[in-house]
């Protein structure tokens, strides 16, 4: 591993955009790593793009560990972020610690979990024990049934709550925060107010970095992809070229354009 949470923090300070993509297996991980992606997220989106479910809810810690192991074998330089699946950290901070350790033993350098203020105690417990944590706020897909669907979050009065969530996870020791499906003006405000990097997905161009689900980025997901996705295979003849184009467009601020974000 050569990219670390310190690298990401420095990139934010220097205004260099951070690039993440998801991957779930050895071969794609090797393509992404060779292309120079900063971080590979072994997301619980694997429930949808690998397993064919409609939500990430069925994913277990065993699934996440298996895919993290596969990815780890393909990676030399990128940082690996392992996603804590639904039910693997909500019961207690001790449960979260035990499952975070499993993901790290599988090869994750950082673990990601969904939630802001409600996860503060867990984030503090993990970070005080040497685990690097990325929080995930805004649209949190593990709560899709409670949210009533995959909907934009943080509009109107909910905006201040999301800013508070971002500040609270930072105070608890999180090293980064994913902002999913939030208006771009709010993502800009959060990015300006916190010192840790924001990684956006459907959160506009002002985030410190971007992440997309690989299958959306190469246009092979058979179901409907969200409006914030772009098919980078268009105009290219290889997956490696599509990944390089994604990296270039994020680094130069061409992606995401306003059409890939929300007002």
Judged by CB under 6 A, which stretch of 3-11, 37-45, 163-171, 220-228 contacts ligand KIV?
A: 37-45
Judged by CB under 6 A, which stretch of 6-14, 42-50, 123-131, 153-161 contacts ligand KIV?
A: 42-50
Which of 62, 117, 128, 180 is labelled catalytic? Answer: 180
Active site residue 121: no
DSSP letter assigned to residue 225: P
Report the C-alpha gap between 2 and 178 in whole angstroms.
Answer: 21
Determine the size of the site formed for ligand KIV (CB under 6 A). Answer: 12
* 119 lies in the site for ligand KIV, by CB under 6 A: no
The nearer residue to ligand KIV, 43 or 115, going by C-beta atoms, is 43
Q: Of the candidates 159, 151, 150, 157, which has an alpha carbon nearest to the alpha carbon of residue 186?
A: 159
* 201 lies in the site for ligand KIV, by CB under 6 A: yes
Q: Please, which residues have CB within 8 angstroms of residue 66's CB and are 6 or more apart in sequence?
A: 106
Q: Please, which residues have CB within 8 angstroms of residue 71's CB and are 6 or more apart in sequence?
A: 23, 24, 25, 26, 29, 40, 42, 80, 107
Q: Are strands 79-83 and 39-42 parallel, antiparallel or unpaired?
A: parallel
- Residue 251: count other Cβ atoms within 10 Å of its Cβ: 17
- Residue 14: count other Cβ atoms within 10 Å of its Cβ: 7
Q: Which residue is nearest to ligand KIV (CB)?
A: 43
- DSSP-based three-state secondary structure for 244: helix
The nearer residue to ligand KIV, 4 or 225, going by C-beta atoms, is 225
The nearer residue to ligand KIV, 135 or 194, going by C-beta atoms, is 135
Dihedrals φ, ψ of 186, to 5°? -70, -40
Shortest Cβ 237–ligand KIV spacing (Å):
26
Angle between helices 93-106 and 120-127 (to 10 degrees): 50
Shortest Cβ 80–ligand KIV spacing (Å):
13
Per-residue binding string, ligand KIV, 51-80, x by CB under 6 A, is ------------------------------
Report the C-alpha gap between 45 and 47 in whole angstroms.
Answer: 5
* 213 lies in the site for ligand KIV, by CB under 6 A: yes
Judged by CB under 6 A, which stretch of 4-12, 40-48, 159-167, 236-244 contacts ligand KIV?
A: 40-48
Binder among 19, 21, 38, 43 for ligand KIV (CB under 6 A): 43
* 178 lies in the site for ligand KIV, by CB under 6 A: yes
* 116 lies in the site for ligand KIV, by CB under 6 A: no
Side-chain-side CA neighbours of 204 within 13 Å: the count stands at: 16
The nearer residue to ligand KIV, 138 or 173, going by C-beta atoms, is 138
Please list the active-site residues: 180
State the residues that interact with ligand KIV by CB under 6 A.
22, 41, 43-45, 83, 136, 178, 180, 201, 211, 213
């Amino acid at each position: 591993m050569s990219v670390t949470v310190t690298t990401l923090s420095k990139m934010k300070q220097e205004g260099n955009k951070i690039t993440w993509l998801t991957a779930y297996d050895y071969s794609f991980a090797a393509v992404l790593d060779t292309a120079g992606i900063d971080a590979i997220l072994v997301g619980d989106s694997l429930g949808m793009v690998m397993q064919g479910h409609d939500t990430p809810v069925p994913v277990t810690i065993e699934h996440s560990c298996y895919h993290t192991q596969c990815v780890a074998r393909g990676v030399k330089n990128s940082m690996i972020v392992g996603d804590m699946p639904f039910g693997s950290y909500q019961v207690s901070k001790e449960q979260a610690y035990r499952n975070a350790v499993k993901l790290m033993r599988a090869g994750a350098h950082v673990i990601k979990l969904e939630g802001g203020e409600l996860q503060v105690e867990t984030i503090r417990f993990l970070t005080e024990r040497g685990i690097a944590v990325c929080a995930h706020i805004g649209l949190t897909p593990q709560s899709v049934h409670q949210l009533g669907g995959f909907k934009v979050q943080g509009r109107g009065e909910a905006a201040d709550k999301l800013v508070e969530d971002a500040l609270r996870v930072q105070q608890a020791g999180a090293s980064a925060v994913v902002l999913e499906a939030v208006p771009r003006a709010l993502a800009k405000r959060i990015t300006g107010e916190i010192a840790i990097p924001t990684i956006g997905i459907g959160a506009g161009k002002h985030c410190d970095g971007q992440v997309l689900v690989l299958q959306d980025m190469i246009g092979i997901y058979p179901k409907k992809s969200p409006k914030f996705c772009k098919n980078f295979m268009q105009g290219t003849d290889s997956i490696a070229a599509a990944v390089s184009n994604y990296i270039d467009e994020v680094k130069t601020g061409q992606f995401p354009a306003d059409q890939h974000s929300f007002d």
